[in-house]
Amino acid sequence: MGILRSGSRDTKLVSEPKQKIITQHITLPLIIMKGFDTSKQEWIEKHTISVHNDWVRCVSWGPFLMQNVIVSCSQDGHVNVLTNENDKWICRLLENNKEPMWNISWSATGHLVAISGKYNKLSIWNTSLPEWVCINNEHDSKGSWKSLTKALRSLTNSTIVDEDAFKALLKEVCGALVAADVNIHIVQKLRQNIRNKIDIENMAAGLSKRRMIQTALFDELVGILEPVSCTKWTPLKGRRNIVMFVGLQGSGKTTTCIKLAHFYRKKSWKVGLICTDTFRAGAYDQLKQGASKANIPHYGSYYESDPVVIATEGVKKFKSELFDIIIIDTSGRHKQEAALFEEMLQLNNAVKPDNIIFTMDATIGQACFAQAKSFRDTVNIGSIIVTKLDVGWNLNEFEVYLKPRVSVKYEVKYISLSCAVRDRHDVDVGATNSPIIFIGTGEHIDEFELFNAKTFINKMLGMGDIKGLIQQVEELNINNDLMNTLKKGQFSIRNMYEQFQNIMKIGTFGQIMNMIPGFGSELCGKYSEVESAAKLRKMMTIMDSMNDKELDNTDGAKLFNKEVGRITRVARGSGVSYREVQELLLQHSKFAQMVKKMGGMKGLMGKAGDMNNLNPRQMPRLNQEIAKFMDPRMLNQMGLMIVLLMIIKFKLCLAFQKGEFTKLLFIYKDLMTFLKNVSLQCENVSKMSKHSENIMSVINLLDFIQNTAVSTNTGEKKSSQRYGFPGYRVFYDKIENEIPTEIEKFLNGNYSNASVEISTYIIEAFGNSTRIDFGTGHELSFLAFICCLEKIGFLSKDDYASIGLYLFERYTEIVRLVIEKFHLEPAGSHGVWSLDDYQFIPFIFGSSQLIGNDSISTSCYTDPVKCAELSVNFLFFNMVNYIHTVKTGPFSEHSNQLWNISGVNSWTKINSGLLKMYEAECLLESPDFRIIPVILNPLNIEALFTDFQIIFFTKP
């Protein structure tokens, strides 16, 4: 936009269809528009418009709300839309309640967009809400799809799911979709479909509102990307499968042809490539170069100008050589559309392809609709491949406004999928009625994925694709090498180099993280994908400078430290510092020690020595060994990818001991939110006598466990040993076998997909059968059990007080019975940070119950007599009274932490302090967190992330 100077007036040039318009910013609240009359060769005043009682900051002209309008931004940040009705200009003010707008324009797709705030936030006007929706800024360039994940998490963390929460979710979701350039008709249809499915006010009791809403949203998003009644094309063995690619120039057809050929070649198909693009210079050279690198046979001509002749000859040649798949790359043009379609039709008639694949650029937004429709009208498109899903979109028109120059990136990668499959005016009518079969996720030949709408939406919403990750790892076929390495207990530098190579084959750091539920973009933002990959390549470069003796040495650090000249030589050869070589050797030593420990564990791999049949009795010890060697700082230094592959191939679970990783898991947030909400409802509540029917069902389950414990013999005389009567294992086996049936009974056949997870948590809530001990990790498992019941809708907010003051009291009584009868050892050397040898959570709920009860002093629980009197009605005193009865000596010595707490003069402060202590020392720093849910089944990595994500990973 040019700026002209005319005396003291600033004049900006903007365009109107078929005419130039001059807008003059003057001291009066006016916009003076003049049109240039080409016949008279002079400027003629067209309109003088009063817009606002202030200076006009910027003016733009464009189509808005089905008519051409002038949009102005005033000095105070208000946006004015001026429409010409009956030859009169009418001002419509677009309010922005958050922060003033300071630049306005139109996006390439016709949306009204504006820059606002000191952080250069990019906002779009959502006509369906209507309001401004922020879609990006220079500090947060993750794209508007992050809003969907945020909306789902806010729903999960909501204490109450009512109509207001539901409307807020729909508002965020629709705003994110509109901001991502999804056609407004599709968004409106999605919104209406969700509202038709969900009736919050009349929803049946016992149903989980969160789950129903999440499922409805998930199904509608999947429905956008999946055309109705379409079968995806797959090649058939025993016949010649001819595939023809079509699409505009620059959409990535040639690269995608090579990727598709490489994909099927890896699966032992005989694939050939034919280049028929005689229009673009260098087209055959590009295909020839890419095919040669991938070792794929190809056919083309530098001299023949007729693409039909080349295609016919190429197909004939590959058919005679019994190729399974023949891929034809065609030309793509922008200006010569008629010639393109004519050529495409001739090729179609000549070779009669089994499948025509439309290649579509993901960065063009809604413009893809017109493309898809044009190609569909000419040939029968059978499939779609979407390319460039790793690329953002630069709003070039805004770059001229931003100082310093900032390219505001706006992710539109997902919208193209819906636009190509669905009609822009009617969501039920397909533009191509063709399924998406593959997506291109990068420039490299392996950055090519099979498209599955459900998996795609899962990853988009942060729910991961662990099955896809397992499949990619299995395709590396490195199980035998790793198993032999484990069995020998040896891990050379060459072994580590091979593992790094395997990581590079799987994909980038971000791709791997996006496939794990609960990780994705948040972790990628904190631990830079670029830095991680660069670190990996640098370490591989260092190892490339080593000789065979050094690479095959299982104790590299010893060899290099003995002959320090080797470190200097390797550093010079790889172009790194002396210290960086030492760091690599240190990392290798960590891995080598871990592998040596694993190899020395007898019976780890079972009798057959098979890694897939690891001995469960050895798992607790193995987990402890891994935790010793996997220093959390090591994860930062080496990049999480390095550790990740080792974990997956060993089929173990790494207990992340650093809070930064734990916080990223949905389960941590779910549990902490649930704990705080229950504690809040326990405030100033007297002894409860009435409880809901479902609470009593849980009590009946606990009674069953108590009766089982009472009826089980200890198996050993009390005088023979201090801890661990073997009869406990009999008790544990009984509840392990019978609890699933009891769970099914009290769930009354509902929530069958959640019963496995719920059963596992309640079984683990009564101790460890291997060590015969009990600690706060098992208490945490009971919290997870109750939290699951609340998540599926079996328990509700109305039950929170009963949960805190009745269920946990009853659970604690049964735990005490089990501990005393079978002499379970406290898990940990000091109990739970000197609160109690076994429990922590009841102290939180008990202190909350006392909030507002000023008549009871915070220090009186140190007096055994007073404590016994109050223990009948107050949970906190019940817990402390038990300590008085089982421990002897001064209270300040055997319960030092409780003694310190007694000095706090407010139950409110005690309660908030206990919550913070539990979060910081139990959830974030203690290995107790690993019990929920990953260590429960460490033998099956797929079950680790799928079977136990039903509830806590909020997967629809």
CATH of the domain at 471: 1.10.260.30
Q: Which domain holds residue 900?
A: 667-945
pLDDT confidence tier of residue 510, bands split at 50, 70 and 90 = low
**Per the domain annotation, does 93 fall within a domain?**
yes
Both 82 and 180 in a single domain?
A: no
Domain final position from 626, 655, 684: 655
Three-state secondary-structure class, residue 302: coil
Q: State the pLDDT at residue 402.
A: 27
What are the phi and psi torsion angles at 858 (to 5°)? -70, -20
Q: State the pLDDT at residue 117.
A: 56
Q: State the pLDDT at residue 803.
A: 92
Range with the largest mean pLDDT of 346-355, 391-400, 481-490: 346-355
Three-state secondary-structure class, residue 515: coil
Task: Provide CB contacts within 8 A for 66, sequence distance 6+.
Answer: none
- Residue 646's alpha-carbon distances to 49, 60, 641, 655, 657, in angstroms, are 69, 56, 9, 13, 17
The model's pLDDT over 931-947, given as tens digits with 9 standing for 90+, comes to 333 322 322 333 333 33
Residue range 741-746: average pLDDT? Answer: 82
Residue range 890-903: average pLDDT? Answer: 78
Longest dimension (CA), the chain: 116
Whether the per-residue pLDDT at 557 is higher than 90: the answer is no
pLDDT confidence tier of residue 300, bands split at 50, 70 and 90 = very high
Both 508 and 584 in a single domain?
A: yes
CA atoms within a 13 Å half-sphere pointing along the CA-CB vector of 55: 9
User: Are the C-beta atoms of residues 643 and 629 closer than 8 Å to each other?
Assistant: no
pLDDT confidence tier of residue 791, bands split at 50, 70 and 90 = confident
Both 76 and 183 in a single domain?
A: no
Choose between 609 and 402: higher pLDDT: 609
Whether the per-residue pLDDT at 608 is higher than 60: the answer is no
Choose between 53 and 244: higher pLDDT: 244
| Cα 779 to Cα 772: distance, rounded to the nearest angstrom | 15
Whether the per-residue pLDDT at 118 is higher than 70: the answer is no
Residue range 24-49: average pLDDT? Answer: 56
Q: How many domains does the chain have?
A: 4
Q: Comparing 83-97, 498-512, 557-571, 634-648, which segment has the lowest mean pLDDT?
A: 634-648
Q: Which residue has tokens 């095919």?
A: 291
Both 828 and 933 in a single domain?
A: yes
Residue range 659-686: average pLDDT? Answer: 71
Q: State the pLDDT at residue 822.
A: 87
Both 512 and 587 in a single domain?
A: yes
Range with the largest mean pLDDT of 135-149, 441-455, 789-803: 789-803
Strand partners of residue 925: none
Range with the largest mean pLDDT of 89-93, 136-140, 282-286, 501-505: 282-286
Average pLDDT in the chain: 70
Whether the per-residue pLDDT at 498 is higher than 60: the answer is yes
Domain final position from 655, 682, 703: 655
Residue range 855-862: average pLDDT? Answer: 86
Whether the per-residue pLDDT at 14 is higher than 80: the answer is no
Q: State the pLDDT at residue 756.
A: 73
pLDDT confidence tier of residue 386, bands split at 50, 70 and 90 = confident
Both 720 and 861 in a single domain?
A: yes
Whether the per-residue pLDDT at 328 is higher than 80: the answer is yes
Q: State the pLDDT at residue 817.
A: 92
pLDDT confidence tier of residue 103, bands split at 50, 70 and 90 = low
Choose between 318 and 669: higher pLDDT: 318
pLDDT confidence tier of residue 800, bands split at 50, 70 and 90 = very high
Give 940: exposed, middle or buried? Use CB within 10 Å, 0-12, 13-18, 19+. middle
Choose between 638 and 298: higher pLDDT: 298
| Residue 126's CATH number | 2.130.10.10
Strand partners of residue 103: 115
Q: State the pLDDT at residue 751.
A: 66
Choose between 33 and 650: higher pLDDT: 33
Whether the per-residue pLDDT at 341 is higher than 70: the answer is yes
| Cα 168 to Cα 172: distance, rounded to the nearest angstrom | 6
Q: State the pLDDT at residue 931.
A: 36
User: Are the C-beta atoms of residues 921 and 902 closer than 8 Å to each other?
Assistant: no
In terms of DSSP bridges, do strands 409-410 and 325-329 run parallel, antiparallel, or are they unpaired?
Answer: unpaired
Q: State the pLDDT at residue 85.
A: 66
**Per the domain annotation, does 777 fall within a domain?**
yes
Both 150 and 15 in a single domain?
A: no
Whether the per-residue pLDDT at 469 is higher than 80: the answer is no
Q: Comparing 81-90, 798-807, 818-827, which segment has the lowest mean pLDDT?
A: 81-90
Residues in the chain: 956
**Per the domain annotation, does 141 fall within a domain?**
no
Q: State the pLDDT at residue 716.
A: 64
Range with the largest mean pLDDT of 111-115, 343-347, 620-624: 343-347
Domain final position from 136, 158, 178: 136
Both 645 and 705 in a single domain?
A: no
| Cα 75 to Cα 78: distance, rounded to the nearest angstrom | 8
**Per the domain annotation, does 297 fall within a domain?**
no
pLDDT confidence tier of residue 119, bands split at 50, 70 and 90 = very low
**Per the domain annotation, does 217 fall within a domain?**
yes
Both 651 and 627 in a single domain?
A: yes
Range with the largest mean pLDDT of 591-605, 651-665, 676-690: 676-690
Q: State the pLDDT at residue 314.
A: 94
pLDDT confidence tier of residue 900, bands split at 50, 70 and 90 = confident
Choose between 84 and 351: higher pLDDT: 351
Q: State the pLDDT at residue 274.
A: 94
Both 65 and 163 in a single domain?
A: no
**Per the domain annotation, does 723 fall within a domain?**
yes
| Cα 624 to Cα 614: distance, rounded to the nearest angstrom | 16
| Residue 188's CATH number | 1.20.120.140
Choose between 706 and 514: higher pLDDT: 706
**Per the domain annotation, does 439 fall within a domain?**
no
Task: Specify the amino acid at residue 803.
Answer: I
Both 491 and 639 in a single domain?
A: yes
Q: Comparing 122-136, 256-270, 397-411, 501-515, which segment has the lowest mean pLDDT?
A: 397-411
Q: State the pLDDT at residue 773.
A: 81
Whether the per-residue pLDDT at 192 is higher than 80: the answer is yes
Range with the largest mean pLDDT of 176-190, 443-457, 726-740: 726-740
Q: State the pLDDT at residue 940.
A: 33
**Per the domain annotation, does 781 fall within a domain?**
yes
Both 109 and 187 in a single domain?
A: no
| Residue 841's CATH number | 1.20.120.1150
Choose between 725 and 367: higher pLDDT: 725
Q: Comparing 218-232, 243-257, 272-286, 296-310, which segment has the lowest mean pLDDT?
A: 218-232
Q: Comparing 86-90, 263-267, 552-556, 869-873, which segment has the lowest mean pLDDT?
A: 86-90
Among 460, 504, 421, 476, CA closest to 223: 421
Whether the per-residue pLDDT at 750 is higher than 50: the answer is yes
Tokens of 764: 């683990």
Among 722, 785, 681, 657, CA closest to 159: 681
Whether the per-residue pLDDT at 668 is higher than 80: the answer is no
* Helices marked H in 689-769: 693-711, 727-747, 755-764
pLDDT confidence tier of residue 584, bands split at 50, 70 and 90 = confident
Q: Which residue has tokens 């050797």?
A: 585
| Cα 443 to Cα 255: distance, rounded to the nearest angstrom | 8
pLDDT confidence tier of residue 87, bands split at 50, 70 and 90 = low
In terms of DSSP bridges, do strands 42-50 and 436-440 run parallel, antiparallel, or are they unpaired?
Answer: unpaired
Whether the per-residue pLDDT at 645 is higher than 70: the answer is no
